[in-house]
Chains A and B, each alone.
Chain A
């Protein structure tokens, strides 16, 4: 009888039993992102619960502000910065318990953050679409007026376009192999969309020339910059 290496056999069995079979979304993401690591980061985003809650609150808050003041283009321009800072904080050194470890990985931590932003916007867009449909159905049957409109406004004016912008940013980052190039492409696309929309409706000039809004805009921009800086800083740790 030939010798059998039982420990080797057991490791083979354990490898098959313990392996996590990727679902269709993860398999699709692996192909598109050309990175199994980024694909896993994408699908596990909602399971990192505290980060998910913080990021979702930031995204929905920014979206509510952006859609409430649709006549002022700078609000729409700054809202992605607020949402981005919220996501970076939620999945950055501020909250993510494994951030230090992530910083030593071959897959860039900035690419992981970009993937997480797409997951947050994308899943919230799906939830927003469902909420809009439910609210519309309830509105038809006689519920409070205006609710279907506000849910749909946040979904269609904010969550869906921002999901598209994040997807574009990620695509650009994947092709260019640079997260910063992806962010630049996403920001450029959003800025062009907002400003061209405002120019067409003639509101852009009025908002820019309204001097009363300049100080709040500057304060807002400074706050966003501070949050983004804090969320993406290098952790100092114990010297």
Chain B
């Protein structure tokens, strides 16, 4: 192309063409984002529209039932809550400790490198494979059975990479002068971590924990794989109450109890041919969505606040 041969009109036409292409692409970008937003809106509105007739107190206080109108999600939400408790108790200390180790203690050697590569790769392992791991190790080798404990530990392993990565990012954002100041007044490495690094990294760690738990509460596949039941019409034993004639439940008996969780209840109702259960699935789906989106919303808000507030 010889630029000298172009007239002003031709150049203007070229510019107009370029601007038009820009505008078309911009429109495509907005369209794709709109599709994403539309999916969320459609999903939520459909679940509300279909499930609204089930939003009664009974729905939250009834067990699953063969009759759709009497079925509720009591055992499911209690199960989800208890599994999350076990998951958080296992994953948060482990994940934070691993993150602190990798950022503050680890020497740059092959061992550290293996651990780092390993964490990256674990994040890409399909969740159902964690279910197989748990089935082989927790359920049969350790003999935990199909219990809340097995499920909680499985989900803890699943979200461990998320917590480790967010802990590391939060710690990395703390400037070196904080550590130097602490060590200059005679604190040991652990005292520096305990009184400075971990408290200052807390908001970032918390964000990661919430995102991880939001992911765990919606996970279905690994829990089905370890053999959670779909029809549970009782609650795990409450500590120190009478479970049978003269026998009181111990403080930790509930961790070995069979259970069901919200996603499994939804799966069960979705896969029934009777359309009456669709209504239940919609209502339970909305409850689960509300839990997950609230948790994610809190995490997004926390991060936003953090970015505004922290000035080193």
Q: Do A and B come from one complex?
A: no
* A residues neighboring B (CB under 8 Å): none
